[in-house]
Every structure is written in structure tokens, then in C-alpha cells.
């Protein structure tokens, strides 16, 4: 298992030609922590850590912003708070939690597309 953040960090490491061990030493974290982040066994990294990663790879502002955004959507143990929402929202969130492991990638892509369209539509009218 991995996360979008894990994929992004591996891409940055490959681009720079550094190992996990080298990167971990430069960022003053353990190689085990970095490995856990890359493999989705840790939650969202701290803002401080993200700044150190961006500095280590000397990424431009837009790329750093994208790295921060990706980190924000990479927590493998997300909690969906439906308190105060209609019952069908809670039912949907729980059903998704139960079924997500068995959904094929194409279904995930279609659901993500539906969500993206709904969010874009809401932004335009909001």
C-alpha cells in the first residue's frame, strides 16, 4: 500500500537520485519513519516536515504547494465526520468505508470524477 504523498516523495527521491536512508539523514528523521510515510503506514506529516522536504528537494513554490496538497489527502486512516448531516450521508460514508477495499480502480476513478464535478459546480454557484 502507498499514498499519493508516498508516490510523490519516491518520485522526488528518484529525480534527485537519493535513497530513503540519505533523505532521512538529511531531514533528521529515521529511515523507518520515512519508509512508513512512503508506504502509507503513517498519517499526514507535519507542516514542519513538509517544509523540510520542499527545502531538501529545492522545489519551486507551485511544486511545494502541490506537495502540501497531496500530503493533505494522503492520510490512510481518514475519519469522515457526518455529525449533523442527514442520515443518508452517514449511511453513504459507512458503506464506502466497508466497500472501498473491494471496489475496482475504474469505479474509484468514476466516483472521484463525480465528486470533482460536484465540487466544481458548487464552487461556480457558491
- Per the CB < 8 A criterion, the answer to whether 33 and 42 are in contact is yes
| Cα 1 from Cα 41, distance rounded (Å) | 8
Q: How many domains does the chain have?
A: 2
Does a structural domain hold residue 104?
yes
| Cα 79 from Cα 88, distance rounded (Å) | 17
pLDDT for the residue numbered 123: 79
pLDDT for the residue numbered 27: 96
pLDDT for the residue numbered 97: 92
Spans of the chain, pLDDT less than 70: 126
pTM over 0.85: no
| Cα 54 from Cα 64, distance rounded (Å) | 6
Task: Write out the residue range of the structural domain in which residue 104 sits.
Answer: 87-125
Does a structural domain hold residue 82?
no
User: Are 66 and 28 in the same domain?
Assistant: yes
Range list of H helices, 1-75? 4-16, 20-27, 31-38, 47-56, 61-72
- Per the CB < 8 A criterion, the answer to whether 44 and 75 are in contact is yes
Count of Cβ atoms closer than 10 Å to residue 53 Cβ: 25
User: Are 57 and 92 in the same domain?
Assistant: no
User: Are 53 and 8 in the same domain?
Assistant: yes
pLDDT for the residue numbered 126: 61
User: Are 44 and 101 in the same domain?
Assistant: no
Amino acid at each position: 500500500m502507498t499514498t499519493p504523498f508516498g508516490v510523490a516523495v519516491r518520485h522526488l527521491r528518484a529525480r534527485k537520485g537519493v535513497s530513503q536512508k540519505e533523505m532521512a539523514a538529511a531531514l533528521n528523521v529515521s529511515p523507518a519513519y520515512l519508509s512508513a510515510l512512503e508506504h502509507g503506514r503513517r498519517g499526514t506529516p507535519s507542516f514542519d516536515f513538509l517544509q523540510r522536504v520542499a527545502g531538501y528537494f529545492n522545489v519551486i513554490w507551485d511544486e511545494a504547494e502541490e506537495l502540501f496538497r497531496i500530503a493533505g489527502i494522503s492520510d490512510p486512516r481518514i475519519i469522515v465526520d457526518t455529525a449533523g448531516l442527514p442520515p443518508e450521508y452517514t449511511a453513504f460514508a459507512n458503506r464506502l468505508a466497508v466497500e472501498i477495499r473491494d471496489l475496482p480502480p475504474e469505479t474509484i476513478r468514476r466516483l472521484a470524477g463525480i465528486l470533482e464535478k460536484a465540487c466544481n459546480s458548487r464552487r461556480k454557484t457558491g
